[in-house]
Amino acid sequence: MSAATSLRCSDCASTHPLDYLLACPDCGGLLFVEYDLDRIARMPFGSLAGPGIWPYAELLPIPDPAHQVTLGEGSTPLIAVPRLAAAMGLDNLWLKFDGLNPTGTVKDRSAVTAVAAARQFGFDRIGVVSTGNAATAIAAYAARADIRALVLSSATSSRPKVSHVNALTADFMMYRGNYDDLIGAFDRAIDSRVVFDGGASRNPYKQDGKKTLAYEVFEQLGLQAPDYVVYPVGMGELLLASQRGFRELHAAGHADSVPVPVAAQSSIADTIVKALNEGGPRVSISIDYTIAEGVAVGDMGAKGDWVLRDLRDAGGLGAAASDDEVVEWQNRLARLEGIWAGPTGCITLPVLAALVAQGKIARDARVVCTVSETGLKSDLEPPDIPIIEANEAAILDFLQS
């Protein structure tokens, strides 16, 4: 009950059996799962049913229901936001609010297939290195599947993220420094096969879960693709997977078009945006802290080259936003539409606003902006709120103010 046929190399295009492979045996390139287009063409989009992301089981590489796992992820709302759209100069804007996933971020979509794949390939433990959100997602689904999660999370992770991971797994350590400093050593340790790969660099089974965002958007727009989709780009997993999902829908004849991808990065970690806008190759950089913790990646490695290629092939756009701009739009989103998103989640908003202001996206374009993280995972200094006296006159005075 899966249309998956093989692994294909994103570099040399060779195909390989659906084994636990993290790199192309021919050239070392990154792999993705390929599917039978005829079977995709026969899928009844609009009337698929099942728990979590498993309505799309046929489009995921986990054929055996015994390996599947769910906490009710996915089916997140696509919210029309007319007031926010007007503030940006757009007529048609929807937010795909993935902060309503079980651990509060889009990472749950890939944690599901990562943990399910660990079961499928006979592992009883999964490891992850993360700035915080992937850590909670992998730990949650591993607990649900009764396998061990070994979690390395950044020492700069917000308090709610740390408490969250700590509740989920006993095997939890932190690291100082940047994600970039850890991920290389983590990937080499993964090659020893002591744990299944829950990282964002290479595992083709993990990333495929994020394709489901594309399928949901397509169904929620009445079986149509939007003109643009804006994605936060840390390691670029969501952009790669979701755009692959949209391309599958198009190639199989369900969708008339493929949306133009838009990459949103932090101005302190803007390697893709810089290469895209200035031409030339991606150049890794050493980075500082950003409140948009989930996109704090200065060295995306081979995955970065893949993201850049995907964007160029699709005529994609990109822009970077500062922490101040992120906070400005985070608050604007709350006040205008009642949605409380985290910094990583709403870095897409200032980026979209900038591209509209520059005339790169037209007013009448149909735009979906992913908001990938709830605001509840942030650790803000509490504001200084005035205290009221507990009597009727004071309360009435306030209510009339």
Only one of the segments 12-20, 157-165, 272-280, 345-353 lies at the binding site for its own copies (rule: CB under 8 A); that segment is 157-165
Interface stretch with its own copies, choices 66-74, 232-240, 253-261, 285-293 (CB under 8 A): 66-74
The stretch near its own copies (CB under 8 A) out of 171-179, 265-273, 277-285, 316-324 is 171-179
Interface with its own copies, residue 19, by CB under 8 A: no
Q: Which of residues 97-156 bind its own copies (CB under 8 A)?
A: 97, 100-104, 125, 127, 129, 136, 139-146, 150, 152-153, 155
CA–CA separation, 75 and 267 (whole Å): 31
Q: Is 52 a binder of its own copies (CB under 8 A)?
A: yes
Helix (H) / strand (E) containing 317:
strand 317-321
Q: Does the protein bind its own copies through residue 86 (CB under 8 A)?
A: no
Return the C-alpha torsion angle 158, 164, 165, 167, nearest 10. 140
User: CB-wise, 41 or 100, nearer to its own copies?
Assistant: 100
**CA–CA dist 108, 111 (Å, integer):** 5
Smallest distance, its own copies to C-beta of residue 392, A: 4
**Does 22 help bind its own copies (rule: CB under 8 A)?**
no
Please state at what angle helix 301-313 crosses helix 271-278, rounded to 10 degrees. Answer: 40
- The DSSP secondary structure of 56-72, one letter per residue, reads GGGGSS---GGG---SS
Binding residues for its own copies restricted to 322-351, rule: CB under 8 A: 330-331, 334-340
Binding residue for its own copies (CB under 8 A) from 195, 264, 276, 320? Answer: 195
- Residue 274: helix, strand or coil by DSSP? helix
| Residue 10 vs 133, nearer CB to its own copies | 133
Compare residues 318 and 350 and give the one whose CB is closer to its own copies: 350
The interface with its own copies within residues 225-264 (CB under 8 A) comprises none
Q: Are 182 and 152 in contact (CB under 8 A)?
A: yes
Query: Considering beta carbons, is residue 26 or 379 the nearer one to its own copies?
Result: 379
Comparing CB distances to its own copies, the nearer of 2 and 75 is: 75
Instruction: Count CB neighbours of 225 within 10 A.
Output: 21
Binding residue (CB under 8 A) for its own copies from 2, 92, 166, 322: 166
Q: Strands, DSSP E only, in 234-310?
A: 260-266
Distance CA 392, CA 20 (A): 67
Q: Of residues 349-378, which lie at the interface with its own copies (CB under 8 A)?
A: 374-378
* CA distances, 111 to each of 41, 286, 312 (Å): 27, 28, 28
Report the alpha-carbon distance of residue 193 to residue 123 in Å, rounded: 9
